[in-house]
Structure 1
Amino acid sequence: MPTLRLLAVLLALVSSAAAAHPFLCCDYGGGKVCVVSAEGKIEWQWDCKAPQDCWKLPNGNYLFCFVSGALEVTPDKKVVWEYKAPTDVKVEVHACQPLPDGNVMLVECGTSRIIEVDRAGKIAKEIKLAAAPEIKLHNQFRGTRKLANGHYLVAFKGEGKIVELDGEGKVLRQIKVPGDPHEVVPLPEGHLLITCGDGHQVRELDAKENIVWELGENDIPGYTLRLMAGCQRLPNGNTVFCVYLGHGHIGEQAQVIEVTRDKKIVWDVADHAQFKTINQIMLLDVPGDVTKGEILR
């Protein structure tokens, strides 16, 4: 008799063939940002060190950040916007977001700040972040998003918490979570979707910070949760998660999973020939303007 693990894998393969998505992704360990067809072919690639966040813009260009800055690049690989992080101190850029006014929001470890950069590459706004002194630079911050009301949500990776700031940087609330959070996605009705990094789990909280949905390390046979990184909530209620396979797990299992509300896998990516550690993803078959928050990631 087949094992439950084998049955789960076979069912996932059947499902993925019927529900494959084209996508944009960051391969942190592979040092590249890629556009991938629904058939799994890399159609566009940009090499950069330690990419962390990526978006397809309404104009068709690709915005992404990496360890030393951020770029907007056209499909024919022309750089039309650039931000270079400071070089006089050690800095790591770990999140980016296109804003409605055309500026780009970034979060930097080392300088400990959120910045909004204009089309000329100049800093238009800066919010200082107070990282605990014992937290090493690489572990300070990860996923960061600006909300429609001007507030900011920041994953304080090394401190195991999500922090909401107002538009001037005042701390409004702090939410402790397991592990080292890598992503916080604002959802409708004030919900938050949080990936807990090496906490090996995911939580969705309502506006009162109650857990309304969660995914545990061993909830899905054959799909152990490793370091949970980027994610995207889909219009049908499913969620796509990046399972970062560094820390000793490269090549072991699927790098991306699409999970239903009842915790069934309907699509996955397990391409170890082309990718090492996929840590961020944006599906390209979901309509919406990313500058208006219409894509939930």
Structure 2
Amino acid sequence: MRLLPRLLSIAIVALTLTSHADSPSRPFLCCDYGGNTISIVTPSGQIEWQIETKRPQDCWLLPNGNILFAYLDGAQEITRDKQVVWEYKAPTDTKVECHACQPLPNGDVLIVECGTSRLIEVNRAGKIAKEIKLVTTCEKIHNQFRGARKTANGHYFVTFKGEGKVVELDPTGQVLREIPVPGDPHEVVPLPSGNLLITCGDGHKVQEIAPDSQVVWELNENDLPGNTLRLMAGCQRLPNGNTVFCNYLGHGHLGEQPQVFEVTPDKKVVWESADHAHFKDINQIQVLDVTGDVTQGQILR
């Protein structure tokens, strides 16, 4: 009589494993904020490459094969054999947190700093080539900013996490517009259409906003069965119109559901990843089966 429950248990486990093995998958680069790692994952779900770093927040696979990433105390470019070939270290005389980076066409790297409240462009020598001050009313350093992106026309888009808004600045740092969004925005992705794709953090929402500030697409907390929106963090818009989202499971939801999923414009999940054995709370992703030069803005994330 004891054998039957054991056989049923084995069958259930086998069915679960088969289901995962048969599901569609993508290779990707990701940050695991709580796990303090940056990893490359194969389509079969194997970790091909991994490094440890403190609270990573943004990551890019560069055309030369190196990995660029932001972490709590700065940013680094590292080779596949884990040699640091470029580095920026945030000031140590004051509390600073770095939560975003972006490779620029001229080889510089855009970084946003909480604490110093600024955008900086750092050259290949590790020196600040340009600085733009950001004015925030948020006193808690950790909550000041998250995602930041520069566009081809030299404009900057910054998520003011603690103030619930996205701000657009011109090349000199003048504020052009402020876009209020629900929650505490974590990422803003300027799209070729002129729209902005914005993840709203603990607002449990994603919005695509037109240049006139109208919401043209929205993903809400309970729109996806089995994928309740928790803290919406990193994202990537794909050439087919789908979007890959990081559903950050910190704040009490570790292990409960997929950490990453791909959604169609009509809100159907076509791919998801849930590896709770190796990752805690994935917060940024770059899907690697999409071609394009990240230094030229060809990858929309």
1:192-239 alpha-carbon deviations (Å, 9 max, x no partner): 000000000000011211111110000111110000000000000000
Distance (Å, rounded) in 2 between the aligned partners of 1:34 and 1:51: 11
Select the residue among 194, 201, 205 that pairs with 1:197: 201
Residue 287, structure 1, aligned to residue 291, structure 2: yes
Cα distance in 1, alignment partners of residues 221 and 20 from structure 2: 21
Which residue of 199, 206, 222 corresponds with 1:218? 222
TM-score by length of 1: 0.94
Higher RCO, 1 or 2 (CA under 8 Å, sep at least 6)?
1
Task: Quote the offset at 1:135 in angstroms.
Answer: 3.1
- Could you tell me which amino acid in structure 1 is paired with residue 36 of structure 2? G
Name the structure 2 match of 1:24: 29
Structure 1 residues 55 and 17: alpha-carbon distance in aligned structure 2, compared to 1, 3 A threshold: farther
SS of the counterpart of 2:80? coil
How far does the alpha carbon of each residue in 1:127-149 deviate from its partner, in whole angstroms, 9 at most, with x for none?
Answer: 000010x4310000000000100
Matches of 1:14 and 1:188, distance apart in 2: 36
Tell me, in whole angstroms, the C-alpha distance in 2 between the residues paired with 1:135 and 1:235.
Answer: 39
1:249 to 250, 253, 271: 253
Whether the aligned pair in 1 keeps the contact of 2:146 and 2:161 (CA below 8 Å) is yes
Task: Report whether the alignment pairs 1:68 with 2:99.
Answer: no
Does structure 1 conserve the Cα–Cα contact (< 8 Å) formed by 2:21 and 2:44?
no
* CA distance in structure 2 between the aligned counterparts of 1:278 and 1:264, rounded to whole angstroms: 21
Partner of 2:185: 181
Alignment length (residue pairs): 285
What are the within-5 Å matches in structure 2 for residues 24-43 of structure 1? 24-43=29-48
TM-score for the superposition, normalised by structure 2: 0.93
Task: Give yes or no for contact 1:15–1:266 (8 Å, CA) kept in 2.
Answer: no
Q: How does 1:234-273 map to 2 (within 5 A)?
A: 234-273=238-277
2:50 pairs, out of 27, 38, 45, with 45
Q: In the alignment, which residue of structure 1 is the partner of 2:210?
A: 206
Distance in 2, Cα, partners of 1:283 & 1:15: 19
Q: Which amino acid aligns with 2:206?
A: V
Query: Which of the two has higher C-alpha Rg?
Result: 2
**Counterpart amino acid of residue 255 in structure 1:** Q
Report how far residue 14 of structure 1 moved: 6.1
How far did 1:283 drift?
0.5
Cα offset, 1:17, TM superposition? 3.8
Letter in 1 for 2:267: K
Q: What secondary structure is seen at the aligned counterpart in 2 of 1:190?
A: coil
Secondary structure of 2:183's aligned partner: coil
What is the 5 A alignment of 1:74-113?
74-113=79-118
Q: Secondary structure at the match of 1:127?
A: strand
Residues 234-278 of structure 1: per-residue CA shift (max 9 Å, x gap): 000000000000000111111001000111111111110000000
SS, match of residue 286 in structure 2? strand
Inter-partner Cα distance in structure 2 for 1:157 and 1:128 = 16
How far did residue 153 of structure 1 move?
0.0
Could you say if the C-alpha distance between residues 129 and 17 of structure 1 is closer, same or farther in structure 2, counting changes exceeding 3 Å? Answer: farther
SS in structure 2 at match of 1:158: helix
Q: CA RMSD in A?
A: 1.3
Instruction: Write the distance in 1 (CA, Å) between the matches of 2:208 and 2:84.
Output: 37
